Amino acid sequence: MITQLGSRVAGTAIALLLATSAFPASADTTLTIGKANATSDAIIPVNVGDQLGIFKKHGLDLKIIDFGGGGKSAQAMAADAIDIEDGAGTEMAFIAKGAPMLAVCESTGPAPFLAIGVPWDSPVKSLADLKGKIIGVSSPGSFSDWSAHELARTQGWGPDGVKTVAIGGTTAATLAGFRTHQIDAEIGGASQFFAFEETKDGRFLASVASYEGNVASGALFASHKLIASNPDAIRAFVAGWIETVDYMRAHKAETVKIESGITHFNEAVMSKEYDLTIGMFTKDCRFDAESLAALKRSFVDLKLVDTPPDMATLYTDAYLPK
């Protein structure tokens, strides 16, 4: 009896051993993701996909860190503190200056999510009224910084048509700037200005998409270290990103709810924001010629580089789905 029991136990143990040997447990790859902005619509799909378990499905465990501007997240990349940066195409200029990263996805083309807002009691009623004004941006060399100067260019005001001041890109900083009138306007998230209208702290003036074309407003970057050590993790991240955006397009109510929890704006604000921005996402992460031309001009306009770079050296499509 004891012998038969021992045989059955031994047999079960061997079967389990064979099963675990044939199908070894696979551990998720941990990636540290740096976000250039905490609430930008072009950037928060990484949070949406993380909450939905989409990146987990692709074998990734994400550690997400928010930064106050593309310059700061690029510094984190240089310090080897992050693996992937979720930011803007203008940050490709940092690659031209030696940042140890490469752009691997154009996530959004135009930038309807980025808007110009003004204090509630501001006399500014149109873009024309911003000539010579002080505009708050997230950081020097950021996409919001370039967008302010692009406004001056498209309006024919010359390189000094507006003055930009870096304020960090947070809601608190914008409110302080508006209430003290240290800035005349700010370039920030449209949802922020929609919310300000409810509290009479500020007003939505215009989307930057009203004067900009395709500009690679959103981009994903991989560190040189990750490229060398785990290229499959980059492919998995890009695939997870594309799947997340596909989900967002097909599920407005669920997306608005998740984004409301991330941005802390109410669902009415985020519903308006969703309608404004959902069409900006690229379907396949590929960089287009219009975006690359606009970025190349921006690097010179912002004096981020001495000479226009070869754009082909700043990005790759090697990690995109075939």
Asked if residue 47 and residue 67 are part of one domain, the reply reads yes
Residue 138 binned pLDDT confidence (cut-offs 50, 70, 90): confident
pLDDT tier for residue 27 given thresholds of 50, 70 and 90: low
Written as six digits, the tokens of 135 are 């505009």
Report the relative pairing of strands 29-35 and 185-189 from DSSP bridges. unpaired
Bridge partners, residue 301, by sequence: none
Q: What is the pLDDT of residue 223?
A: 97
Write the burial class of residue 250 (CB in 10 Å: 0-12 exposed, 13-18 middle, 19+ buried). exposed
Residues 220 and 83 grouped into a single domain: yes
Residue-range definition of the domain harbouring residue 146: 114-210
Q: What is the CATH number of the domain that holds 55?
A: 3.40.190.10
Query: 174 and 251 in contact (C-beta within 8 Å)?
Result: no
Q: Are 212 and 195 in contact (CB under 8 A)?
A: no
Same domain? 103 vs 221: yes
* 19 found inside a domain: no
- Give the other-Cβ count within 10 Å of 189's Cβ: 29
Determine the Cα–Cα distance for residues 185 and 202; give it in Å rounded to an integer: 9
Q: Which residues of 1-30 are buried (b: 16+ CB within 10 A; e: fewer)?
A: eeeeeeeeeeeeeeeeeeeeeeeeeeeebe
Asked, for residue 174, whether it belongs to a domain, the answer is yes
Q: Are residues 135 and 271 located together in one domain of the fold?
A: no
How many whole angstroms from its chain centre is CA 160? Answer: 28
Number of domains in the chain: 2
Measure CA 80 to chain center: 19
In angstroms, the CA 15 to CA 13 distance is 5
Residue 8 lies in a domain: no
Residue 34: name the closest of 23, 22, 43, 25 by CA: 43
Q: Is the pLDDT at 14 greater than 50, yes or no?
A: no
Q: Is residue 24 part of a domain?
A: no
Q: Is the pLDDT of residue 268 over 60?
A: yes
In single-letter form, the type of residue at position 224 comes to H
Q: What is the percent of the chain where pLDDT is above 90?
A: 75
pLDDT digits (tens, 9 = 90+) for 251-261: 999 999 999 99
Q: Give the pair of three-digit tokens for residue 105.
A: 């996805």
Structural domain ending residue among the three candidates 195, 210, 225: 210
**Residue 196 to residues 117, 191, 277: CA-CA distances in angstroms?**
9, 9, 18
Decide: 314 and 103 in contact? Cβ < 8 Å: yes
Residue that the structure tokens 């929890």 belong to: 261
Is residue 93 domain-shared with residue 234, that is, in the same domain? yes
The closest of 186, 192, 185, 190 to 171, measured between CA atoms, is 192
- The structure's pTM equals 0.80
Sign of the torsion formed by the C-alpha atoms of 202, 183, 186 and 148: positive
**Cα separation, 150 vs 142, whole angstroms:** 12
pLDDT of residue 20: 33
C-alpha span between 321 and 257 (Å, rounded)? 29
Tell me, yes or no, whether 225 and 307 share the same domain: yes
Instruction: Say if residue 267 is in the same domain as residue 204.
Output: no
Minimum mean pLDDT range among 98-112, 118-132, 296-310: 296-310
Residues 101 and 230 in one domain: yes
Read off the pLDDT band of 55 (50, 70, 90).
very high
The values of phi and psi at residue 55, to 5°, are -65, -35
Strand ranges across the sheet with 29-35: 60-66, 29-35, 84-87, 218-223, 101-108
Average pLDDT of the chain, as a whole number: 89
Q: Is the pLDDT of residue 279 over 50?
A: yes
Amino acid at 149: H
Gap between the terminal Cα atoms of the chain: 60
212/215 Cα distance (integer angstroms): 7
